[in-house]
Amino acid sequence: EAGVVQSPRYKIIEKKQPVAFWCNPISGHNTLYWYLQNLGQGPELLIRYENEEAVDDSQLPKDRFSAERLKGVDSTLKIQPAELGDSAVYLCASSPDPDRNNEQFFGPGTRLTVL
């Protein structure tokens, strides 16, 4: 079974530029998560989707971050404009259903460097 796929794996941009990350969850997984992980820290939830609905976006900085999951499968996370402090790893995870958040499968992440 294929795992969670993320692209790109690495991205280097200059501050104030836009950037987008893509995630393809495990087939059949209705719940999708985006996390931010700073160096040496645990992942922090940015947004959680159940199918195409964002059910928890309370930690998403909405002035510059946006996300979508239009058909309830793939998802895109965007930052516009990026700031130096956005340098981090952005992880996508999925789980089979909303009541199994303890069973999350993570992708490899996208490492973003903002110069």
What residues line the site for other proteins (CB under 8 A)?
4, 40-45, 48, 56, 91, 93, 98-109
Q: How far is the CB of 57 from other proteins (least distance, A)?
A: 12
Nearer to other proteins by Cβ, of 6 and 65: the residue is 6
Sequence-distant (6+) residues with CB within 8 A of 107 are 3, 4, 5, 6, 23, 91, 92, 93
E-state strands within the chain: 5-7, 10-13, 19-24, 31-37, 44-50, 53-56, 65-68, 75-79, 88-95, 105-106, 110-114
CB of 86 to other proteins, least distance (A): 19
Q: Considering beta carbons, is residue 43 or 65 the nearer one to other proteins? A: 43
CB of 74 to other proteins, least distance (A): 17
Nearer to other proteins, 40 or 85 (CB): 40
